[in-house]
Each structure stands twice: as structure tokens, then as C-alpha cells.
Structure 1
């Protein structure tokens, strides 16, 4: 029922009000008696949040409703309101016909695998502890969540005077613009009006989808461009010249700033070698995890891990919260640019290697991955199967793994020479397509 990023799927198919009702019932039945409930801008989120709230109350739990808010706003509100859990109705960067639910702990960490399984089991078995008529839970409204988040962002980042363009992608990331203005920056917004049909651009902040942001930044005196996905857990960036910065370079820049000698940085198995090579020069090591912010967050619970990030745009500072906080990333990047100069110059200092990423569509991910795993383990010696199949060779690596949210198998390859990267990627892709 749960993928790596919670429950996601098409409305009326895999995601229904019945499911949301049952997840609420399951949470309350597991003893989560005070739950913060929020949603992104998708119209279907209204009914799903209502259904989840009904399920919570039916089993005796209280719901604290924050309405339309960024996912990190809801996740961080769990601690602020002394609640037991958070429930966000969102499909994050997925298309508008999708929606979903994601669950949060007071630390800001998403529910881990064991917690997700207990909820799934109750839903599968329809095992709920319904309350008596005189012991139902209550629903209250808290309108201060976004303001509280903005205040936390201002405390967590230094001030500056940069000109910044924020593309909210018609999502719920408006808190970023508010916080940046409060920090002293000159902020212009794009697609700031929340609209869950995402009329301006697809929700995921990729280079292709953020072409307008790149053009606006390049054509103005802006120092920096910021882009979010629909629920603002992700953040990507654009340099003053309109160049969309790769996730690996942004990860390296953040990690270099956050980590001290002897620290570790948590990164997923699909991260570029450039990150490890850069950090090694500072006496910092990388700890590789499964792909998914929940796994990066789990690693970041260790006191020796000072930062965690994913090239997709999820950034975690465990000294602040264990949830990916796109607005926090935006504010800390603005601070970095204010202190150390243009983002383009900062990422130009980082050596990069040829990296290839692609995917193969399939409706039978598990079967295909099993066949690929058998073939790869029989042909290569250095194989890591913690998340898909990752193969280390003497001059590079490749990774084959099933997406946790889409019907595709992702293929990634990197080497120190372009031809070798192409060859590794082609070989890995052929393994997927032929099995």
C-alpha cells in the first residue's frame, strides 16, 4: 500500500475516500491520539482530508486541521502542536490526477517501514478500534501553521539582500517567498497562486519544466531562482545566468557547507561520485542509503550525520528537522549565495563526471527486477542489492532500480570518461529491456 514516499495513485482508482477513511481509522487504532492533518492544493485533497479526519475521530483521535499547507509545514507542526503524528494529503510532484497520503512522526521523520506496515496491516484486515458514541474524537482548526513555519525559517537562516525569483509551480510553497522577504531579500514570484491542476507547468521541478524560471532569471537582475514541487518538500535552483543546477551539484554544495571533518553525509545510492570526491577533500564521508527521503532521514537520525540529501531535490538538516524542507533549503541557499557569492561560481568549483539517467516503462517492475538481479549478480563481483542493483566497476558504476511511485525502472550510470559512462548506461539499459 505504501511506496517509498507514502501512498500515491490516481484518484478514483487506487486512492479513494474509503482508503483515506481507513488510514485515519488505523492511525487512531494504533494509539496516535492527536494528529495534524493538512493537504496540498489538489481539489481532491479536500475530500480525502475530510475522510481521513472522519476516520481519526471515529476511532477516538483528535485532528488538528491546518488546511492547505506545504508538506514540511505540516510535518513540523506535529512537534509544534505536541501531536503524536501528522497526515498530509498530497501526491507531491505527481500529475494532478493523482493524490496520496503521507504520515509523519514528531521528529519530522516520515513513518518508517515498520510503522507503515502496522498501518497497512490494519487497513488490510479492517482491524479498527471504533470509539463509542460518547468518546469520539474532535476536530479543531489551527490557522497559524504557515506563519510558524516562516518564523522558523527566519531563525534558521541568515539574512541577505539578493534578488530572488521563486517559482511555486502553483503549489503550496508560498511560505518560501514570505520567509525570504522577511530575511531581507527582494523576491519576485512565478506561479504563486495555488492550483492543484498545475496550469503553468508540471509539478515536478525539472530543468525542462522550469524553463520559464530560467528565462526570467536570466533576463532580469535576479541573483538566484528557486523552484518547488506541488507540496514544497523539494527545492531546485537556477543560477543568475539562468542555468538549472543539477541535483548532484546542489547536494554537493549544501553538504560541503553543512559538514565538518569527521562528519558523515547521507545520500542515496544513485548519487554522483562528485559528491563523495568533494567531501573526501574535507575529511567528510558519505553514507549511502536506499533511494527515498525516508531512508535518508533514517540515516540522519545518527548523531554523526550532519546533512542528508537527494539529487531529486529533497534536503534534510537534522539540526532543524528530519523532513525534507524545501523552503528551508531555499532560505539556506539564499544565505549561502549572500555570503559566498554567485551560485554559478560555487557549483563551478565542483568537479563533475559524465552521468547518465533514464528509465524503462513497465507494468511488471518486480518481475523484471528479479530477472535483472539474477543476471547482474552472475556477471559482476561488486554488487549492492540494498535498493535495486548497484554495480561498482573500476572506473564507474551503474544502478538499476524500480521506481517507488511510477511504473518504470530507472537506470543510472556514471564514469570518469564520457564514453565509458555511455557504455555502462547502454549495457544497463539493455539488461532491463531484454529481461
Structure 2
């Protein structure tokens, strides 16, 4: 999902997860001022598909999925996870359909990210399935370009964003897999995670944005579940890395265990923790660091007609308001200021983001 001109190399240490900040700093300290001309070095390859599928079969109760009459639509977004879910579903004879599951270096002209605007093809397919599904529970499953992130879609074609996906997965792990924690959630992830953990008596804490901040606890056995706002979820009994395929399977497990469609599960989720609606807005601001310094020095006392009841600075500037929160955070790699917002109603999200944008751009409240 990053521009191809960035290219580069992603380094994974021996434990199979993201490099910690300490490891990254060590690598950076050895980089020469200019990249050397090395030609085409030999690259070794190894086929690990069967090993990976075997691990998924151990981590998931595939045969238990047949308890509910499922019809699964898998959208790989032309990414690297294509084929894996379909193969596992085929093995237990669950009706399914694959969408965007061929190789396309241009990803069909859309960013392969689990966002509503990028899931339009899946929505069209699900809405056309009402007769074909024959009374089965239709579930849409989404993986991103490199297969480490997950989201979903309900039986009506409504997008299941990454915050609700993470919350439903946590609910399932606590309710049906006896997860006892600890749970890690990124600073920009929904408050539903903490509320669900509190209801279950599971310890949890917030971490900085970026999955690298969860890796050490996962490796050391100090975390059972870690989730970030972009749709990456990791598990203490798996590799210390995000896995979109496994996450989708746990979402399916929840539907099968309850016999309820995703739309009904979201309604039940809201009945437990209250309604939560979320959106993010990216502002192209070359002076983003100056904007952040100004806001951190003098945060507002009110925003969008709500009181600022608390200010948090774990990673950016989060203003907790009467009905939710808004987070200002400067991108570390792009000239962008990101605004994250969660409220109890969609109109409150829009109004708060509009006001936050005006504030960031120097407008008066």
C-alpha cells in the first residue's frame, strides 16, 4: 500500500516478527551514506505454504466451522494471501467464493488496504448473493496486499471496519477460547477493546502506534492478543506478527460458534459497550511538526461543542471529549498529519473531524 518508488528491504529478525526499534537503530547505524552498487545478489527461496497451512489447522477449529450454515466470500485484494482461506474452506466443504484472487501488480487500480472505499467489489458480490446463498449466513472476509491485515463485511454488504473486527475477535477469544490476557491495543485503536477486556476481567494496556511496539511482549509471552488500528492483529500462540488469514478464521469461528451473522454480532457488541463509530482523515501538511508543537503547547478546552476532559500524549495528542476522542499525530515518513476520531454517532465523528481539521490548519474554534 506504500508507493512502489519507496521499494527497499523489510528486515524480519529470527523470531519472525517486526524488528524492534532497538534492532532498527542498530541496522541504521551501519548504513553507508550512499547505497553501494551490488548488482543482483543471490536470493534463496523456500516453499512454506504447507507448513503454514498446517499451523493454521492447529490454531483454528476448522471442523467446528460447519456448525453454522456459512457462505464465505473471500476478498484477497489481489494480494499475497490469495488462495489460503479458500483451500482451508474447501477442505471442510464450506461454500465459498473468491474475489480479486489473481495476480495483479496494480491491485485492480485500488489501494489494497482494508478500507470501505477499497472494498466496493466485495460489496457488489455480497449484495448479489441473496438467492445463491440459499438461507446461509453470508460472511465477507478481507485481507490486504501483503496478507497481514484483516477486516470483514456483513451479510448486507456493510463494511466491518478494523476496529469492530478487532473487537469481535477479542470477544470471541475471551468467550470461546478462554483468553485471559494480557491484551495490547494501539493508541489509535477503538476504546471497545479496553471496555471488553474490563468486562471480562482481562488485563490490557495501550501501546504506541506501530506493531513493532507489541513484538517484544508477544515474543516474551507477556501478551496474548495485540491489535492495531490499521487492521493488524497478533496472537501469543502464533508468530509475533500480524496474520490476516488467521484473524479472518477467528472471525469465522465466532460466527460459527454463535450461529449469528456479523450484523447481529455488531449489534450485540454495541449493547455491551455502547455504540462506537470511527473515521480517520489525512491532511497534507508539510509543517505537521510545527502544528503538533502548537497543539501540544496549548490544547483547546473545547472542540466541536464538547469539553476536553482529558489530554493524553502516549503517541501524538489525544483529546478525550464528552462523547469520544480525537487524536492528532504527525506521520513519521510522510508530510501528513493524521486525525483519528471515535465517537458515539457518525455525525459526531464528522463534526469533530471538521473542527479538528480547522484547528490543525490554524483556524479559530
Q: Could you say which residue in structure 2 is the equivalent of 1:164?
A: 72
Aligned to 2:305: none
Listed one character per residue, the Cα deviations across residues 219-265 of structure 1 (whole Å, up to 9, x for unaligned) are 21262111222111111111122211121111111112224575332
Mapped to 2, the partners of 1:201 and 1:261 lie a distance apart of 36
Q: Tell me the SS of whatever aligns to 2:117.
A: coil
- Quote how far apart the aligned CAs of 1:127 are: 11
Deviates more, 1:362-371 or 1:318-327: 362-371
Instruction: After superposition, give the CA deviation of every residue in 1:90-125 in whole Å (9 maximum; x if it has no partner).
Output: xxx235555343221233321011100111111145
Q: 1:358 aligns with which of 272, 281, 295?
A: 281
How large is the RMSD of aligned CA atoms in angstroms? Answer: 2.9
1:273 equivalent to 2:201? Answer no
Q: How many pairs were matched up?
A: 335
Superposed CA deviations along residues 394-421 of structure 1, whole A, max 9, x for unmatched, are: 5432210023454321112334466765
- Is 1:407 the counterpart of 2:335? The answer is yes
Matched, 1:374 2:297: yes
Question: Secondary structure of 1:266's match?
Answer: strand
Superposition deviation, residue 392 in structure 1? 2.7
Q: Distance in 1 between matches of 2:345 and 2:227?
A: 25
Q: TM-score, normalised by structure 1?
A: 0.69
Runs of 4 or more consecutive aligned structure 1 residues displaced over 6 Å after TM superposition? 377-381
Report 1:35-114 matches (<5 A): 93-96=1-4, 98-114=6-22
SS of match in other structure, 1:117: helix
Distance 1:155 1:164 in 2: 21
Paired with 2:223 and 2:7, the residues of 1 have a C-alpha distance of 32
Looking at structure 1, the residues matched to 218 and 278 of structure 2 have their Cα atoms a distance apart, in angstroms, of: 26
Gaps of 5+ in 2: 303-307
For the residue of structure 2 that corresponds to 1:111, the secondary structure is: coil
3-state SS of 2:328 partner: strand
Aligned to 1:385: 313
Partner in structure 2 of residue 223 of structure 1 = 138
In structure 2, what is the Cα distance between the partners aligned to 1:417 and 1:327? 30
**Range with bigger deviation, 240-249 or 279-288:** 279-288
Q: How many Å separate the matches in 1 of 2:337 and 2:254?
A: 36
* SS of equivalent residue, structure 2 residue 286: coil
Asked if residue 237 in structure 1 is aligned to residue 237 in structure 2, the reply is: no
TM-score of the superposition, structure 2-length normalised? 0.81
Q: For 2:74 and 2:147, how far apart are their aligned partners in 1?
A: 12
Q: Is 1:179–1:331's contact at 8 Å kept on the other side of the alignment?
A: no
- 2:101 is matched with 192
Contact persistence 1:167–1:189 (CA under 8 A):
yes
The change in CA–CA distance for 1:271 and 1:191 in structure 2 (over 3 A counts) is same
